[in-house]
Amino acid sequence: METERVSFTQMIDGTAEDFQLIRENDLETSKDLADRIIKHLALLKEDDGAYHISRLDHCLQTATRAERDGASEEWIVAALLHDIGDVLAPFSHAEVSYEILRPFVSAEVGWVVKHHGIFQMKYNKSLSEEKRNLRDQYLDHPYYLAALRFVEKWDQSSFDPDYDTFPLNHFRPMVEGIFARKPYASN
């Protein structure tokens, strides 16, 4: 069957029906979101840098630690995706991961993912004292302790090749559950 197309070649000429059609198409495409996210995560397997494990294994290990710590599915999926932006945005990856998660998670989980890079600076001994302490500006922030738990217990510790890490398929139902949510329902 031939795909129905809009009537315009520049948006300025589009009708209300055209934009309704676009909207319906966008909703259809969003049904595959969880699947595309899993496929993109798998790309992180190729990003092995100088660590002992690939970026994918780091994400899996971070999520595994979150799960073993009794965190909710929302936190586990956030841990799984927190570095998904690394491949396309190595200099602003936290913001990319945050924007992917933002419509589907609480404000707290989103904030922590967005700021995890700043919180992680504490462990980077090549940085100046000033940079390493940047997270201190959030000491009174209501999500400070959640961010601290995220980076200290799950993220910075997850570069261990000997850790018993769950495989990507283990997390698939959780990813499907989170991305099947109504966008912006909880924030």
- Which residues sit at the interface with Fe ion, rule CB under 5 A? 83, 155
Q: How far is the CB of 21 from Fe ion (least distance, A)?
A: 38
Interatomic CA distance for residues 102 and 182, integer angstroms: 12
C-alpha distances in angstroms, 185 versus 105, 107, 144, 180, 181?
Answer: 8, 11, 23, 11, 8
Minimum distance between the CB of residue 60 and Fe ion, rounded to whole angstroms? 11
Main-chain phi, psi angles of 51, to 5 degrees: -75, 170
Residue closer to Fe ion by CB (options 34, 84) is 84
Whose Cβ is closer to Fe ion: residue 67's or residue 83's?
83
Sign of CA dihedral 9, 10, 16, 21: positive
**Cα(170)–Cα(166) distance, integer angstroms:** 6
- Which is closer to Fe ion, CB of 74 or CB of 83? 83
- Residue 34 CB, shortest distance to Fe ion, in Å, is 21
Q: Pick between residue 156 and residue 186 the one whose CB is nearest to Fe ion.
A: 156
